[in-house]
Amino acid sequence: MEKGEAAMSTGPYSAKVMEHFMNPRNVGEIENADGVGEVGNPACGDMMRLYLKVEAGRIVDAKFRTFGCGAAIASSSMLTEMIKGKTVEEAQAITNQQVAEALDGLPPVKIHCSVMAEQAVKSALDDYAKKHP
Amino acid sequence: MTPIFFDHISTTPLDPRVFAAMRPYFTELYGNPSSHIHDQGQEGLKAVDAARSSVAALIGAKPGEIVFTSGATESNNLAVKGAAGASAEKWKHIVATEVEHFSVLNALIPLSNRGYEVTLLPVDTDGKVDPEDVRKAIRSDTLLVSVMHANSEIGTIEPVAEIGRIAKGRGVLFHMDATASAGHLPLDVGEIGADLVTLSAHNFYGPKGTGALYVREGVALESQIDGGFQERGFRAGTENVPGIVGMGAAAAIARDEREGWAAHLRRLEGKLREGVGKTVEHLHFTGHPTDRLPGHVSFWVEFAEGESLLLFLNVHGVMAASGSACSSNLRGHDEEDLVASPVLRAIGVPSDICTGSITFSMGKGNTEGEVDHVLGTLPGIVKRLWEMSPTYLDYQKKKA
């Protein structure tokens, strides 16, 4: 860590948000993913694409690419950690509040980033259901 | 390394000489200028008068034409609402531009609710308003034209002298918001032909909470704060003596040193502009390439969101600003506060590929070494964001 990094304040975000923003988990894509979800729109400031690998009804891998603010990237990263190892049903039940709480909260104007994470997993699971009827 | 402050457009550090000038007026010379019957009050009055002369000299005004306020927001409100309040019923039309500061644009809202008609002029892709558009917009019932001297977000200097001539020719008041330019650009109210000019002390190394409005002799304004008769009746309330003293000291320093600062800042600006243009792909500069505030470099980068860029820059010790869709009001109360920058919209930046511009605004204390640090840091940050971005991935696949 550079000297500047150690002294940094987290600004409007929790330390957890900054930690996930700086070191996002599971960035990338999964080739031949079992489910892909995409939500948001760059024109609105953020866009998230989520890739899932599902084996025997359980999410064994998740990767994401996100265009967006610090909260959007941290929410994406946190979401992938939360859903890995969960069954499809368990992942379906994840709410935006759970994502926000796992990040030690988000500023009020950034709640939509956690909503985007919830929508992304639902969208990816819909895609999975279509591909695996 | 020491953090690098490249956000002088938001505020500037108080010059230590200004602080030294202000100090006695907190604890020793605390007199109220209105109580000038006694010695303490006399000291306060003398200090305010001296500061008034100094601020007037910065912009080629007479001391009696300077009204001290709490800052640029109050000055803009006083100019716009005060001019409307003091004018007869028949003057019902105001002309401004789409790129004015919120303290002008939002001050116009209650006026339009009261029956005033407001014409907001567009700007070109460099952010300049066409004086011809001003000429065409002026009607027989136009009261006021309000155009900023220079834009804080994209740095562009507006053709204010031409606009001043047009307004004068038609007998219309001309208000110029010089918040970003005063103390940095040559500014002579006579040459520009302005009737009202907004000034902010903390934008030229003075204290926060102090500003001024130049009010040309003979121009009538309705006070927006009712109370006593301070500031010739334009602004009630006991004067912020230490702040006013600070503004006077800052104005005197700026008058002596402005040209030296500008030369230094033009060098830094050229180096930073050339450097980022060379090292960062998909980068688009905003604002006019040459008619701009000294030391101001602004741009946006495709596939990289503005707030994320700022957060990473901050982690690397670089403080900058953004007019980004996402970060413009992070401490707002709800998502309604997340509005895209009206300035970026006005210059026609496509909203589907740009959600944030970066503004580097350097000050007199910045160095070439700091520019080098930014140039060494920014390309890596952009790359890191691109690697996370689905839109960059799509772009690359399309290219391949």
Q: How many domains does chain B have?
A: 2
Mean pLDDT of B208-232: 96
d(CA B43, CA B3): 40
CA torsion sign for B290, B292, B297, B301 is negative
Distances (CA, A) of B353 to B77, B300, B329: 35, 10, 20
Q: Answer yes or no: do B295 and B351 share one domain.
A: yes
What CATH number is attached to the domain comprising B20?
3.40.640.10
What ranges do the domains of chain A cover? 12-131
Encode burial over B65-83: b for 16+ CB neighbours within 10 A, e otherwise.
bbbbbbbbbbbbbbbbbbb
- SS3 of residue B18 by DSSP: helix
Mean pLDDT of B319-338: 56
The DSSP bridge pattern shows strands B173-177 and B196-200 to be parallel
B354 part of the active site: no
d(CA B193, CA B175): 10
Average pLDDT, chain B: 93
d(CA B215, CA B43): 25
CA torsion sign for A106, A108, A112, A115 is positive
Q: Answer yes or no: do B118 and B37 share one domain.
A: yes
User: Band of the pLDDT at B352, cuts 50, 70, 90?
Assistant: low
Q: Which of A29, A30, A69 to mutate against chain B (most B CBs within 10 Å)?
A: A69
Q: Which are the contacts of A26, defined by CB distance < 8 A and separation ≥ 6?
A: A62, A63, A64, A77, A80, A81, A84
Q: Answer yes or no: do B235 and B336 share one domain.
A: no
- A12-131: CATH class: alpha beta
User: Band of the pLDDT at B48, cuts 50, 70, 90?
Assistant: very high
pTM of the shown model: 0.92
- Whole-number pLDDT of residue B66: 98
Give the pLDDT confidence of B134-152 residue by residue, as tens digits: 999 999 999 999 999 999 9
Mean pLDDT of A63-73: 95
Q: What is the 3-state secondary structure (H, E, C) of B60-101?
A: CCCHHHEEEECCHHHHHHHHHHHHHHHCCCCCCEEEEECCCC
Distances (CA, A) of B114 to B104, B143, B243: 16, 15, 35
Exposed/middle/buried for residue B226 (C-beta within 10 Å: 0-12, 13-18, 19+): exposed
Q: Which helix (H) or strand (E) holds B264?
A: helix B241-279
A114: pLDDT strictly greater than 60? yes
Mean pLDDT of A4-23: 77
Q: Answer yes or no: do B178 and B284 share one domain.
A: no
What residues of A are in contact with residue B314 (Cβ under 8 Å)?
8, 11
A40: pLDDT strictly greater than 70? yes
Q: Which domain holds residue B201?
A: 16-254
Q: Answer yes or no: do B170 and B51 share one domain.
A: yes
What residues of B are in contact with residue A73 (Cβ under 8 Å)?
308, 388
Q: Answer yes or no: do B219 and B296 share one domain.
A: no
A25: pLDDT strictly greater than 60? yes
B176: pLDDT strictly greater than 70? yes
Q: Answer yes or no: do B190 and B122 share one domain.
A: yes
- Whole-number pLDDT of residue B400: 86
- Whole-number pLDDT of residue B340: 63
Residue A65 is nearest to which of B315, B355, B393, comparing CB atoms? B393
- Whole-number pLDDT of residue A9: 57
Mean pLDDT of B83-111: 94
Best CA proximity match to A88, nearest among A45, A39, A124, A36? A124
Q: Answer yes or no: do B249 and B282 share one domain.
A: no
- Whole-number pLDDT of residue A4: 40
Q: Answer yes or no: do B274 and B239 share one domain.
A: no
d(CA B338, CA B214): 33
Give the pLDDT confidence of B118-138 residue by residue, as tens digits: 999 999 999 999 999 999 999
Mean pLDDT of B250-267: 98
Q: Which residue of chain A is at minimal alpha-carbon distance from B328? A: A109
Q: Answer yes or no: do B225 and B297 share one domain.
A: no
Q: Answer yes or no: do B272 and B287 share one domain.
A: yes
What CATH number is attached to the domain comprising B279?
3.90.1150.10
Smallest CA–CA separation between A59 and chain B, in Å? 21
* Window from B40-44, B167-171, B393-397 with minimum mean pLDDT: B393-397
Instruction: Write the DSSP string, B97-165.
Output: ETTS-HHHHHHHHHHHHTT-EEEEE---TTSPPPHHHHHHH--TTEEEEEEESB-TTT-BBP-HHHHHH
- Whole-number pLDDT of residue B349: 82
Best CA proximity match to A8, nearest among B380, B331, B8, B317? B317
CB contact under 8 A, B308 and A65: no
What residues of A are in contact with residue B392 (Cβ under 8 Å)?
67
B336: pLDDT strictly greater than 50? no
Q: Answer yes or no: do B366 and B218 share one domain.
A: no
